Structure 1
Amino acid sequence: MKLIKFLAITFMVAAFFSCDDSSQNTTLTPDNSIQEISIPFEKHTLENGLTVIFHVDTSDPVVAVALTTHVGSAREKEGKTGFAHLFEHLLFLESENLGKGGLDAMSARIGGSGANGSTSRDVTNYFQTVPKDALEKMIWAEADKLGYFINTVTDPVLAKEKQVVKNEKRQSVDNNAYGHESYVVGKNLYPKGHPYNWQVIGSLEDLQNASLQDVKDFYKEWYTPNNAVLTIAGDFETSQALDWVKKYFGEIKKGKEVTKTIVEPIQLAATKNLYYEDNFAQTPRLGMTWPTVPNYHNDSYALELLGTYLSRGKKAPFNKVIVEGDQVADQAYAYSYTSELAGQFSVVARAYNGIDLDSVLSSVNKAMKLFEKNGISQDDLDRIKTSQETDFYQGLSSVLGKGFQLTQYQILAGDAAFYEQDAKNKQAVTIEDVKYVYNKYIKAQHYVMTSFVPKGSTAFAVTGAQLADVVEERILEGAEESFDASIAAEYEATPSSFDRTIEPAYGSTPTLAIPKVYREELSSGIKVLGIEDNEVPLVQLQLEIKGGMLLEDLDKIGVSRMLADLMNKGTATRTPAELEDAIDQLGASINVRSSNQSISISSSSLSRNYEEVMKLVNELLLEPRWDEVEFDLIKQQTLSQIQQQKASSRAIASNQFDKLVYGKDHILAQNNLGTAESVEKITIDDLKSYYNDYITPQLTSFKVVGDITKEEVTSSLQTLNEKWAKKDVHIPEIAPIQTPVSSKVYFYDVPNAKQSILSFGHPSIPSIHQDYYKVEVLNYRLGGGGFASQLTQELREAKGYTYGIRSEYSGSPIAGIFNISSGVRSNVTYESTALVTEILSNYGANFTQEDLEITKSYMIKSSARAFESQGAKLRMLSNIEEDQLPVDYALKRQEVVKTLTLEDVRNLAQEYIHPEQMIYLIVGDKATQLDKLEKLGFGTPILLN
C-alpha cells in the first residue's frame, strides 16, 4: 500500500452473496438454525473485457470505488522483481488528464478517504471511499489511470519512486526485528523460478536497475481492461454508473489474453534449518513453515481452522504447553496463509530473553503431540465457526469491505458468485478433516525452520542451523542519485473520442445525516450514550472508566495495565478457559484494556447474543478472579514486552519523546507498560488495591452502537447500576506542561540503523479548547492530509527521503501535543530535519487562498463519510462524551470551516506552531548522523543513551 504496504489484503471469505436473481444461500448459526443472508450485486463485462461489479447500499451517502488488477509479484520475472509493487506507487502520481498529483490531489478536493492501494503476490488494488456526489469523478479518474497513464512516467519520476520504495523496505523490513524472516522463508520454501520465491517488495537491486522501458513493457502487458475488475459499492444508481463506466473505460483497448499461471505443488526434499543474526531482535524467535495448498482448495478450510485451534485461546495446545506450561515463549501461534498458486502453514514462537530455541522447538513439538493425542472437539470446532460469522459481518460494516469481498471471489475464484460453494466448504469442515490435514501436511513432513537471534547470540539458534543468505542494503553517504521529479513529461496525448481533460461535475450534494443519539445517566452515575444501527446484526460497545495510569504511583507504573490484563483471565465463577469458551460460543469478543487515562471493556457481538454478552461483562467487572498463576504469567509477559520495545526504533522514539515533552517525572511521560524495575515491584495486592479504590461507576461511561434498542440497553445495565458500589475518586490534576524556551536536538543511538526515526514537537492545547478543531483544520495541509500535505509532498514526493511523514495535534481533555513523525533514509537525517524546520517556519506565511479552498472542500465534503461504520459511530459517541460536545458537533464544525479566512489560518499558525521552541528527537545511527545535526543551529545535540 501507499500507507500499509505489500501485505495482502485479507478478506473474510465466509461471505454469502447473491447475484441478481440467484437463490439466497444460508449459514449455520451457533444453535444450528438457518439464517438467510442476501447481498445483491450486478456483474457486467465491457467489450474490452473489463469486469464491472456493482453493489448498492444506501445506508450512507458514500461510494467506494476499487480498481483491481490481476497482477502481483507472481507475474514478475527473476531479475525484474518488485515491479507490481512499484506500479502501485507510480499509478497514483499522474496521468494524462488528471495531471500532477493525480488521484491524491483530487481526493483532497472531493473529500475522499485518501486514494490508497495494496500489492500482494497475486493482485494489486487501488481504492478509496468518496461522497456519492463524486462518483463520476472517480470513474473518470480510475479510467485515466488504466488507459492514459504510462506516457507521464519519466526517468526522474521513476528515480524518485525507487527511493520511496527503498524507504518503505527500510521501514517495514530492515529496521524491524525479524524483518528478514519472510525473505528467508520464501527463498527456501519455494524453488528458484517459482513466482513466490521472491518478496512482493522485490529486490532493491532489481528496482534500481529497472529502466523506463522495462516499466512501460510491464504496464502494457498487465494493465489492461481484460485483466482488471472495477467494483463500485454504495449509494448510487446502477444504470447511470454503467453509462459512465462505458463512457470512460469503454474505448481503452483490450490487452492480450491473460492465462493462469500453472506451477507444480511444492515438495521439500528435506527439512531446512537456518539462522540469522538480527540487528534489531532483542530475543530469539523460532519459525517453522510447511508447504500446503492454494486458495479455495478443499483442504485450505481445515488448515485455516487448524491454525486457529492450535494457537487461539487458553485451551489451545500452544498456549497450554509453550506459553503457560513450559513458559519458554511469551507468544506462540500458527496460521495458514494461502495464495492463488500455493499456500503455507506457519508456526512462530518468540522466546523469552535467555531461552534458547532448542528449548522452544522441543516445546512446540510437545504441543503438536498433545494435539495428535486429543485432536479437536466438536465444541471447539463450532465456536471457531461462530467467530467466523462475527468476522464476516464486521467485514460488511463498510461499503469498501463489501466491494473487496466481491472482487476477491471474482479474481481469485473466477466468479463473484463463488460465495455459495465457499460457504458450504467452511461449514462442512469436520473433526476428521482437521486431523487429516495435520497428518497430510504437517506431521512428519519436511519444512523450513528459521532461528532469528540477537546479534552475537548464535548459541541460541536451533542446533545444526546454517547461516541464511540475506542481502542487507548498505547506507552510504551520497550514494543516492539526484533527480528532479517536477520535470514534466513530453508526449503525444493518447487519442480519445471526447475531451478527457474536462473533469466531470459533482452530482447532487449529499446531506450530512447525524445519527440519532440517546443519552441518560443512571442512578449509579454511569453515563449512557447509544445509537441504534441495524445495517448489520452486530453490536459494538465500550464501557470506559476514567483514571488509568493517572491514578498510579510513579514507582509502580504498570498496575492499571496489569489489572486490565488480569481482568481478562476469568471471573470468580469461571476459570480463564471457561470465560474464553463462553465468549467464543457467542461469537463475541470482550477485551479489557488500559490506557494512560482510562480502563475500558470493549465488545463486538452478534446482536442476538447481546444480552448474554452483557452478563459476561458484568462478571468481568464485578467478580474478578484474582488468579495468582495468571498474574505471574502476565508479569512475565509484561517484562518481555518491555524488552521487545527496545528492538523497535519507533517505540523508542515514542517513549523518549513523551519524557522530553512532559518531563521525565510527569505521569503522562511514563510508558503504561511500566519499566522492568517498576513491574518487578508490583504484587497482586497492588492490583486489588487499585480495583477496590478506583473502579467506580461515577467515572464510567457506556457507549453502544448496533442492532439493539435503547430499552434493551437500559435493561442490560440494571445489574451494574444496582450492584456496582459507588466510590468517591478524585483524579489528580496533572502538572502543567512547559513549552521549551528554545529548540533543542536530542539523539538516541541505534547502531547501524538503516532509517532515522524523527519525532518533533511541543506541548499544545487540550481537546476541549475552543481552538482544538481549528488547529486540526490548520494541520490538514501541513501534515494531516496524507498526500495532500506539504510535508509529504516535500519530503516524499519531491525528495524521496521518506516513505511517509505526518503531523498531528493529539489531545485529551487534560493535555495536548503537536507532533511530527517520520522514518527517513539514514543518510539524509540532517537534510530531512532542516527541511521540516523550514516548512514549519514558513507554513503560516506561505498558506495561500488555494490551500484554504482545498482544506475547506476536504473538511466539509469528507464529513459525508464520518459515520459510515459502527466503529465510526462509536468514536462519535466517545467524542461527545469525552470532549463535552453537542450531538450535532459535526454540523457545527462544518460552519466553523466555512467561516475561516486566510487571515484566521495564518494567525492560528503563528499561535500554535513554534519551530523555534520545539523538541527535535532523532533515533538513528550516531556514528554517521549525530555530528551533522549541529548545523541546524539549535546547539550541540544531546545524546540520550
Structure 2
Amino acid sequence: MIKRFALIPILLFISLNCLQLSAQNESKEPKIDFETFTLQNGLKVIFHIDRSDPVVAVALTSHVGSAREIEGRTGFAHLFEHLLFLESENLGKGGLDKMSARIGGSGANGSTSRDRTNYFQTVPNDALEKMIWAEADKLGYFINTVTEPVLSKEKQVVKNEKRQSGDNRPYGHTMYVIDKNLYPEGHPYNWQVIGSLEDLQNATLQNVKDFYNKWYVPNNVILTIAGDFNKEQAKEWVHKYFDEIKAGDKIEILKKQPVSLKESKQLYYEDNFAKLPELTLAYPSVYSYHEDSYALEILAKYLSQGKNAPLYKNLVAKKELTDEVQMYNYTSELAGELLLQIRAYDGKDLDEVKKAVEETFALFAKNGISEKDLKRIKAGQETEFYDGISSVLGKGFQLAQYQIFANDPNEINKNVEKIKKVTREDVMKVFKKYIFNKPFIATSFVPKGQITLALENSTEAEVVEERIIEGAEDEFDASITATYTKTPSSFDRSIEPPYWGTPEVTTPQIWNTSLPSGLSISGITTEEVPIIKFSLEMEGGLLLEDPKKIGVSNLLANLMTKGTKDKTPQELEEAIELLGSEIYVRAQDEKITISGSSLSRNFTKTIELVKEILLEPRWDESEFKLVKQQVLSQIQQEKANPNSIAKNEFKKLIYGQNNIIANNNLGNTATVNTIELADLKDYYHNKLTPLRSKFLVVGAIDLEETKATVKDISANWKPITVKIPVFETPNAPDSSQVYFYDVAGAKQSVIMIGTPALAATSKEFYPAEVMNYRLGGGGFASQLTQQLREGKGYTYGIRSGFNGSKMVGPFVISSGVRSNITFEALDLIKDILKQYPENFDATDLEVTKSFMVKSNARKFETLNSKLDMLSDITELGLDPDFIAQREKQVEALSIEDIQKLANKYINPAKMYYLVVGDAETQFPKLEELGFGKPVLLNEE
C-alpha cells in the first residue's frame, strides 16, 4: 500500500454494523453502532459515534486504484493521492496542510492500493465542519488547480518515493518481477501501484484531468466520519458541502479476474543492494472475501509463523538455511496471490531452500493441522481484530473497506463466523487446491556476482533500472499560481467554517504503587476494548555491556522467549498463542523491555508466562546458536541497506569512540562471534534488577488486579544494586564536516545532518521541540518539507527532531533525496537552517502554538499512546499533569524565545553532514558546501 507521506501502522480492515462483537466475555463486549445514508449524487456516508476521546476521524475513500489504470498510463491513482493534498479552489495552495497544522490535526495523509485510494485525518472534534468543508473541496473543486508546474513537481516527488520504496533498497524489485509474470499482460494487477518512472514522466495534464473526471465523482466515493460528534449536525454539514457536487457517469463494477498458471516459471535477478540470497514463491490465490480466503489465511500463518510452524522447524531449526520464513495470503478485489518468502543465510543455494520447502509441504500433506494449532491461530486473530478497532480512524477504515468491496457492512457478521467455522479439513482442502504440487512463480534475488545461488534453470528477470544522470529532471517553478474560473456554488465556499465548541481534553487518571522488591507499577484503566497492553522496562540495555562484547543484551533479549525451565521453545510459544496473547522482549540502548498484549480475560495467565520468561530462563544451547546466527545474518543485511548504514554511521559521529551508545546494539560480526552463553548468563544475573524496573499497564484492569497479578514476579525476583555507567556528554563539533559512505549505483542519497543537543530531562527539551515544529517537525507544515519536497521535488519526505532520553541525544535531520541533486539538497538545507532564526515570524508562532495545544486532544486515544505516556512520565520524571504544564509553556513562548533556541541548537556551521550514496557521481561536488574536503568512510 503506497502512502502519501511517512509510514502508518497497517490497519486490519474489518467493518462493523449495529451488532455486538463476541469477545467471549459478555461483561466487556464492545458494541459498535453505525449508520449509513446516500446523497442524491451517489455519495455514500457512514457515521460511527465513539465518545471516548474528543476527536473525530474523517476519511474519503475513492473506489479507484492502480487496477483502474491502463498500460502506458500507470501510477495515476497514486499520483492523484499526492495531487489532492496540494490545492483546491477554496482552500488555496497548501491550504489543507496549513489548516491541519492550525487545528491540531494528525496531518492529512492518504494511501493507494490496487483497488482504492483513501484520504484521512484525525482532528479535535471542534474542527469537524472544517474537515467536511475541506474534503468536499477536494472532491468537487480541485481539478482546475492542477497546472503543468504542479504536475511536474509532483512527478518528481512520486519518483523519489519509488526510488525510496523500491529502487534504492534490497529486494525492492521483487513484487515488480512477480506481478509481471503472475498476471498476464493486460491484467490490471500486472503493474505496480506506484507505476513506472517512464509512465509518470510521460503523464500529460489532460491525462490527469481525464482520470480525475472519470473516477473522482460522488457516486464512486465513500465518506466516513468516526468519533465524538453530533450526528444530526454532521448530516447538515455533509448535505451543505457535498449535495451540489455533480454525480459522474455510471461506473461499472469490474469482474473478478483470478489467474491460473499452466506451468511454473523461475526467474533470477542480481540485486545491487542485496547481501543475502532471497527466494520468493508466488501461487495464484483468491480475491478478497472469497470463501476459501479464511482457510488460506490460517494456512499461511500455520505453515510459517513461529516455532511450531512446519517451515520454521525444517528450514530454520533443522536445516539452518534461514532465520525467518514469511508467508501470507495477499488478497485484492479482483484476484489474489499466496506468497512464500525466504531470505537465506549468506552463501546458501536457493535450490536447497526450495527442496526444503517441498519436503515440508509433502509432510504437511500427510499430517495437516491439529485442532490445538487451529485454536491458537484463531485466538491470535481475535486479538488482532480488537487491535484494529482501537482508534476511531481504524474503525472508519474498516467500515469503508466492507462498504466498498462487499457492498454490505453487515458482512462482519458473516466474516467472523466464517473465520470461526474454518476446520482442519478446510485448511487441507485449500492447501491441495492452491499450493501442493501447483504451478508457481519463483524469483531468486541474489547478490551481485552470485548467480550460482539462484534456482537452476532460472531466466534472468527484466527489471528497468534508472541511470544516474546529472540535470536529467525537468525544471519547474512550483511558485506559479494557477489561474482559472472558479466552479460555481450556491454559497461562498472560500470562507473557512468556524470551530464548534471546545474539546474537553481529560488526562487519563494514572495509578501507581511499588512492591517490596522495589518494582514500581503504573497504570491507566480504560475499557474501550477488551485488551490489555503492558510493558516491563528494565534499565540497562547496551549501556551495561562490555565494549569488547557488544551485542550481549540483544542476544539475551532474543533468547528469553526461546523457552523456559519447564517449557520448550515450542511449548512456550504455543502457550502464548493459545491465549491470543503476544509477548516480546527487546533490547535497546538504555533498557531491556518485556512487552505485550492480551485479551482482558487472559491477562493473569499471560503474566504467568512473563514470569517464567523473566525468572525461569531455559538457557538452551541450540537456541543460543540459532539466535546468534540470526543476529549475524541481520548484521549482514544492514550492510546492504542505505538507511541502516546511515543510522549506524551517524551514531558513531554523534557519540564518538568513548561512548558505548555509538555502537549498533546488535553488535558487529567480530563482537557477536566472541559472545558465549556464559556472557548472557552473567548479564542476566548481574544487570537485571527490580530496583531499576517498572511495570506499566493500560486497559480493562485496575490497580488491585495488577498488584495481585504481578506480585509473584516481585516476590521471586531478587533485588540487586546495579550502577548505570555515566559516559562523557557528547559535544557539538567546532566546525561542520561532510562524511560520505559509498554505495555504488545508489539511486538515492540518504542524508543525516545533526549534532549532539539535549537530554529529554532538560528544561529546554520541550521548548526546543516546539521551536522545531515549523522547521522540520510539523510534516507538511514545516519549512524543510515545503522547500525540499513541495518547492523543489527533491525528496519524498524530510523531517527534523530532537532525540534525547535521560542522556543527551542529537538534533537530526534525515531524508532520502534523488542522487543527482545531493549537493543542491544539502546546500538548501544549510540555507534553511541558517535563515530559520531570522525568518520565524508571528504567523509561525501562532500556527505552532495552535498545533501544540489543539493536538493534545489526540494524545491519549489508543492503548499504545497511553502506554507511551506512562513510559515518559516514569522514565523522565514528568508530572501526571505535564500536558497542562506544557500548554502553559507554549502559550508563554515568544518569537524571541524561539529564535534564541534556534540559534543555540541548530547552527549549520557546527554539524555533522552524512551522505550515504553513489560516490562516483556525488562525492566530488560536496566540497562546494564550504566545509572542507568530504571524508570518505569506506572504500567500496
Scaled to the shorter chain, the TM-score interval is over 0.9
CA shift at 1:25, angstroms? 5.2
Q: The residue matched to 1:118 in structure 2 has which SS?
A: strand
In structure 2, the residue matched to 1:613 is 606
The one of 536, 539, 544 aligned to 2:532: 539
C-alpha distance after superposition, 1:91-115 (max 9, x if no partner) = 0000000001032111011000010
Q: The residue matched to 2:665 in structure 1 has which SS?
A: coil
In structure 2, the residue matched to 1:654 is 647
Identity %: 58
In structure 1, the residue matched to 2:17 is 18
C-alpha distance after superposition, 1:439-496 (max 9, x if no partner) = 0111111110000001111111000000011111112101101001111111100000
Q: The residue matched to 1:591 in structure 2 has which SS?
A: strand
2:207 is the counterpart of 1:214: yes
CA contact (8 A) 1:14 1:423 kept: no
- Give the number of aligned pairs: 938
Aligned pairs for 1:291-690 (under 5 A) are 291-690=284-683
The one of 124, 128, 134 aligned to 2:127: 134
Any stretches of 5+ residues in structure 2 without a counterpart?
Answer: none
2:115 is the counterpart of 1:118: no
Distance 1:460 1:182, change over 3 A: same
In structure 2, the residue matched to 1:144 is 137
CA contact (8 A) 2:256 2:287 kept: no
Alignment TM-score, normalising by the size of structure 1 = 0.98
Structure-2 separation of matches of 1:598 and 1:264: 51
The one of 895, 899, 903 aligned to 1:902: 895
Amino acid across the alignment from 1:714? K
Q: The residue matched to 1:917 in structure 2 has which SS?
A: coil
2:926 is the counterpart of 1:927: no
Structure-2 separation of matches of 1:34 and 1:443: 44
Structure-2 separation of matches of 1:129 and 1:10: 16
Structure-2 separation of matches of 1:695 and 1:300: 45
Structure-2 separation of matches of 1:2 and 1:796: 17
Aligned pairs for 1:73-84 (under 5 A) are 73-84=66-77
Structure-2 separation of matches of 1:613 and 1:4: 38
C-alpha distance after superposition, 1:314-349 (max 9, x if no partner) = 110111000111111122121100000000001111
Q: The residue matched to 2:820 in structure 1 has which SS?
A: helix
Q: The residue matched to 1:915 in structure 2 has which SS?
A: coil
CA shift at 1:900, angstroms? 0.5
Distance 1:704 1:642, change over 3 A: same
Structure-1 separation of matches of 2:319 and 2:396: 45
In structure 2, the residue matched to 1:865 is 858
Structure-2 separation of matches of 1:13 and 1:750: 39
CA shift at 1:34, angstroms? 11
2:268 is the counterpart of 1:275: yes
CA shift at 1:426, angstroms? 1.1
Structure-1 separation of matches of 2:65 and 2:237: 28
Structure-1 separation of matches of 2:580 and 2:699: 15
Q: The residue matched to 1:916 in structure 2 has which SS?
A: coil
C-alpha distance after superposition, 1:537-591 (max 9, x if no partner) = 1110100000001000111000000001000111111111111111101100011
CA contact (8 A) 1:28 1:427 kept: no
Any stretches of 5+ residues in structure 1 without a counterpart?
Answer: none
CA contact (8 A) 2:5 2:797 kept: no
Distance 1:686 1:714, change over 3 A: same
CA shift at 1:14, angstroms? 5.7
Q: The residue matched to 1:257 in structure 2 has which SS?
A: coil
CA shift at 1:13, angstroms? 4.9
CA shift at 1:3, angstroms? 5.1
In structure 2, the residue matched to 1:774 is 767
Structure-2 separation of matches of 1:158 and 1:324: 52
Structure-2 separation of matches of 1:8 and 1:66: 15
Q: Which is further off, 363-372 or 891-900?
A: 363-372
CA shift at 1:223, angstroms? 0.1
C-alpha distance after superposition, 1:24-60 (max 9, x if no partner) = 355474x9x9996531001010000000000000000
In structure 1, the residue matched to 2:787 is 794
Distance 1:297 1:487, change over 3 A: same
In structure 2, the residue matched to 1:754 is 747
Structure-2 separation of matches of 1:664 and 1:477: 37
Structure-1 separation of matches of 2:306 and 2:133: 48
C-alpha distance after superposition, 1:596-640 (max 9, x if no partner) = 100110010101111111111111111011010100000000000
2:106 is the counterpart of 1:107: no
Q: The residue matched to 1:661 in structure 2 has which SS?
A: helix
Amino acid across the alignment from 1:791? L
Structure-2 separation of matches of 1:849 and 1:108: 15
CA contact (8 A) 1:2 1:116 kept: no
CA contact (8 A) 2:257 2:335 kept: no
CA contact (8 A) 2:104 2:853 kept: yes
CA shift at 1:814, angstroms? 1.5
Q: The residue matched to 1:907 in structure 2 has which SS?
A: helix
Distance 1:540 1:26, change over 3 A: closer
Q: Which is further off, 101-110 or 245-254?
A: 101-110
In structure 1, the residue matched to 2:713 is 720
CA shift at 1:802, angstroms? 0.3
CA shift at 1:370, angstroms? 2.1
CA shift at 1:265, angstroms? 2.6
Distance 1:34 1:323, change over 3 A: farther
Structure-1 separation of matches of 2:556 and 2:136: 54
CA contact (8 A) 1:14 1:388 kept: no
Structure-2 separation of matches of 1:736 and 1:516: 36
Structure-2 separation of matches of 1:7 and 1:934: 34
CA shift at 1:373, angstroms? 1.9
Structure-2 separation of matches of 1:879 and 1:2: 32
CA contact (8 A) 2:3 2:112 kept: no
CA shift at 1:2, angstroms? 7.8
C-alpha distance after superposition, 1:827-873 (max 9, x if no partner) = 00000000000000111111010000000000000000000111111
CA contact (8 A) 1:7 1:119 kept: no
Aligned pairs for 1:844-923 (under 5 A) are 844-923=837-916
Alignment TM-score, normalising by the size of structure 2 = 0.98
2:829 is the counterpart of 1:836: yes
The one of 14, 39, 43 aligned to 1:46: 39
C-alpha distance after superposition, 1:812-831 (max 9, x if no partner) = 01122100000000000000
CA shift at 1:263, angstroms? 4.5
Q: The residue matched to 2:234 in structure 1 has which SS?
A: helix
Aligned pairs for 1:217-228 (under 5 A) are 217-228=210-221
CA contact (8 A) 1:26 1:35 kept: no
2:265 is the counterpart of 1:266: no
In structure 1, the residue matched to 2:693 is 700
In structure 2, the residue matched to 1:734 is 727
C-alpha distance after superposition, 1:280-334 (max 9, x if no partner) = 0001000100111100000011111110000111110111000111111122121
Distance 1:463 1:396, change over 3 A: same
Distance 1:665 1:915, change over 3 A: same
RMSD of aligned alpha carbons? 1.4
Aligned pairs for 1:136-285 (under 5 A) are 136-285=129-278
Q: Which is further off, 6-15 or 368-377?
A: 6-15
Amino acid across the alignment from 1:483? F
CA contact (8 A) 1:809 1:816 kept: yes
Distance 1:11 1:726, change over 3 A: closer
